[in-house]
Structure 1
Amino acid sequence: MDLKETDILGEHIDEHWYYRSKRAAMQKFLGDIRPASILDVGAGSGFFSRALLESTAARDAWCVDISYPEDSDDSAGGKPIRFRRAVDQLDTDLVLLMDVLEHVDDDVGLLADYVGKVPAGAHFLISVPAFSCLWSDHDVFLEHKRRYRLHEIERVAANAGLQVLRGSYYFGAVFPIAASLRLLERCYGKAERQPQSQLKRHSPLVNATLNALCAIELPVLASNRFAGLTAFCLARKP
């Protein structure tokens, strides 16, 4: 989760359709996995690990992000959540990499590094932006290196030493809208403009409408290998 987006939405991030929908998809994708401890890599504000602390029996979470000015501690759901610029070995059984790997040159290397920090049997939930054809100023603003097709992020996970359990796309319902906007941007955008985020605060009506549209996908989330704005991959350390 990018701190640039946290700065844009501020305390209203929990109201935004995109993050509410992605949180629901994360919980759906994890299924019956019940973590005892969470490692959230590139965690930003810790939005996703906070959600899991509040909704599961997980005892704690470690949020790691090189953008933190200093190490700090907080709590969520009455449980400790620790913010660190770096960590060594941890006895965690769920690792989140929510929109992280697209930011680095060596995605396999970064993932493999964290595979080595946790015990065998730990699950990894990875999300990345999907489809290079959707590349836009938003990606440039967030300093992305790439977008992925589903088989590509699954290959990254396998090359990092993980056993891929399942993968799927999400935000398929809004994919046509996003694709149309990207096309318009390329046809009529100005070359000299400064890249900027396309994330912004919306009215309650817009948030409710888009959130409901995305919720329709949840029952068939596991079977969507066709299209979406985000690719999810669930894997396990052998």
Structure 2
Amino acid sequence: MDDEELRRSAALEDRHWWYAGRRALVRRLMRGVPAGRAIDVGPGPGGNAAVLRELGWAVTGVELTEMGARLCARRGVPVVRGDATRLPIADGRVDLVLSTDVWEHIEDHDAVAAESFRTLRPGGRLVVAVPAGKSMWSGHDVALGHVRRYERQELLDLVESHGFVVHDIASWNVLLRPVAKLRRAYGNDAATDEGRSEMEAVAAPINAGLRAAIAIESLLPVDRLPGLSLVVRAFRP
């Protein structure tokens, strides 16, 4: 993700429905988990790292870009510059590796999974969210610098092949997937070398409605249906 997109993300993060929903997801996934030492790999503007800090975690962001590191630090989250394929963390040092919407940017995602495993202590947890569904590929992915979208079995195989035991894998943003699919089919041409990000400000009533849809989804048994994202929780045995 380039500097312009990072600035856009930072400007939207506090109020935009998608970022708010993702922070709520992190809170829900970490409910009841004893706090410890965590790294947020690719924190960008730092919203999710800030959620972990609020939950009592000693969290450090590991961010590749200078812009992302600066934006994360503005939230008061400690951050170090580092590559997800070569994490600047000693073996077995952390209790949680969180990475949301990062793995899809990296060609060598096997290295990222291996590094996540290496840095976790035995019993430590992995939480990863990625965009789902190859059929959803569009100019939005091109604009954000994605190299892939994931299918459920592909993500499971990747995580398990590097020694993790999967606790669960769930879809997220299920209710809004048909809307996104329609929009991408007719308004964002993935056949070109350029694209347009869908991460943009929306009118307040629409933003509230979309936030409500995400909140309602969390109460429904829909996490096995196709969604816009996949979230895997696993641990190092």
Same-fold call, TM cutoff 0.5: yes
Query: Hey, what's the Cα distance between the residues in 2 that align with 1:115 and 1:190?
Result: 34
Q: State the partner residue of 2:80.
A: 84
- The alignment yields a C-alpha RMSD, in angstroms, of 2.5
Aligned residue pairs, count: 230
Q: State the partner residue of 2:52.
A: 52
- TM-score, scaled relative to structure 1: 0.87
Q: State the partner residue of 2:219.
A: 219
Q: State the partner residue of 1:158.
A: 160
Secondary structure of the 1:122 match is strand
Query: Hey, what's the Cα distance between the residues in 2 that align with 1:10 and 1:165?
Result: 31
Q: Which of these residues, 42, 59, 62, is aligned with residue 61 of structure 1? A: 59
Q: Relative to 1, partners in 2 of residues 1:178 and 1:32: Cα closer, same or farther, differing over 3 Å?
A: same
Q: Which of these residues, 100, 125, 134, is aligned with residue 136 of structure 2? A: 134
Query: Hey, what's the Cα distance between the residues in 1 that align with 2:218 and 2:2?
Result: 24
Secondary structure of the 1:121 match is strand
Structure 1 residue 231, shift from structure 2 partner: 0.3
Structure 1 residue 12, shift from structure 2 partner: 3.6
Q: State the partner residue of 1:145.
A: 147
% identical aligned pairs: 27
Secondary structure of the 2:166 match is strand
- AA paired with 2:213? L
- AA paired with 2:169? G
- Residues 20-39 of structure 1: pairs in structure 2 closer than 5 A: 20-39=20-39
Structure 1 residue 21, shift from structure 2 partner: 0.7
Contact 1:109 1:160 in 2 (8 A): no
Q: State the partner residue of 2:235.
A: 236
Query: Hey, what's the Cα distance between the residues in 2 that align with 1:114 and 1:193?
Result: 32
Query: Hey, what's the Cα distance between the residues in 1 that align with 2:65 and 2:6?
Result: 12
Query: Hey, what's the Cα distance between the residues in 1 that align with 2:159 and 2:59?
Result: 22
Q: Relative to 1, partners in 2 of residues 1:45 and 1:139: Cα closer, same or farther, differing over 3 Å?
A: same
Query: Hey, what's the Cα distance between the residues in 1 that align with 2:140 and 2:126?
Result: 26
Q: Return 161-170 or 84-93, whichever deviates more.
A: 84-93
Secondary structure of the 2:147 match is coil
- Residues 127-206 of structure 1: pairs in structure 2 closer than 5 A: 127-185=129-187, 189=189, 194-206=194-206
Contact 1:172 1:227 in 2 (8 A): yes
Contact 1:3 1:45 in 2 (8 A): no
Q: Relative to 1, partners in 2 of residues 1:4 and 1:30: Cα closer, same or farther, differing over 3 Å?
A: farther
- TM-score, scaled relative to structure 2: 0.87
Contact 1:167 1:233 in 2 (8 A): yes
Secondary structure of the 1:167 match is strand
